[in-house]
Amino acid sequence: ELRRRRQELRSRMELLIMETQAEVCRALAALDPGAAFSVDTWERKEGGGGVSCVLQDGEVFEKAGVNVSVVFGQLSEEAARQMRSRGKTLKAAEDGKLPFCAMGVSSVIHPKNPHVPTMHFNYRYFEIEEADGTKQWWFGGGTDLTPTYLNEEDAVHFHKTLKEACDKHDLKLYPKYKKWCDDYFYIKHRGERRGIGGIFFDDVDSPSKEEVFQFVQSCAKAVVPCYIPIVKKHCHDSFTPEEKLWQQLRRGRYVEFNLVYDRGTKFGLLTPGSRIESILMSLPLTARWEYMNIPPESSREAEILEVLRNPKDWVH
């Protein structure tokens, strides 16, 4: 009975990530009718595969990707080490093998217009079978926003929508996961966050599998309403070459975070047979690194930096 229930949850999670991918792709395609998604189905010889949907060089989106993957096999020693460093006790079989199953949906959307923020979300489920047959499982994920320029109204809308999704389950979740998000997307060598946050959580395995799944489902359903209205509102705003340049510099920071700190990127690069194109889909089409670019005080560029250095509470 337990095994049947476990399988059932795995298939429900698989369905949720597929539905989320379809829903987000539909919403993006509706805003950028001239652009077409390229859809790649890929398989991993070690087990599993996925579907990557990527839109490139549209009118509204410079690059937008939504990936789903369901992979299984043996956890690499390197990946197991990364998990143990987060406090997981994983008892491998004598031959060192740890069978795992991981599934998730993940997306990064880089718009052309500097007044439309970049958005990222990811929701995933992980299961590991230990040597004695016990299964460890957990969910992780989050949704966060990275604007080039600060628009308070948008920030409030984004955070409020995510807070409502969390509040349906437990009022403690939003403040906890908002702080986790601010702490996680921190570019230590720059002393600033990657964006204005949102929610982020990992290794969540309580109160029960069903309750955590319901919570993840609410978060996934909040993706379109928290972001699409912001895109609609700004995708036709006019912008200057200087604003476009600032967007390129901010994207450079995005790349730095993803390549140096992001756990998902690291896990992907350490997993044998993983699809590098899908993992690095999160990187923008274009970005810049200028030597010693410091915006003038009290400029709009300095304003966003202030918020990235000192995260704000947007909803209270």
Domains delineated in the chain: 2-73+101-309 (3.40.1500.10)
Per-residue pLDDT, 94: 67
Mind listing the pLDDT tens digit for each residue in 19-74?
999 999 999 999 998 888 999 999 988 899 999 999 999 999 999 999 999 999 88
**Predicted structure pTM score:** 0.93
How far is the C-alpha of 266 from the C-alpha of 252, rounded, in Å? 18
Most distant CA pair in the chain, distance: 64
Among residues 115, 120, 159, 234, which one is catalytic? Answer: 120
How far is the C-alpha of 306 from the C-alpha of 11, rounded, in Å? 44
Torsion angle of C-alpha atoms 54, 58, 64, 70, degrees rounded to 10: -20
153's CB contacts (< 8 A; 6+ apart) are: none
120 catalytically annotated: yes
Dihedral pair phi/psi, residue 192, rounded to 5°: -145, 160
Mind listing the pLDDT tens digit for each residue in 237-271?
999 999 999 999 999 999 999 999 998 888 788 87
Per-residue pLDDT, 1: 67
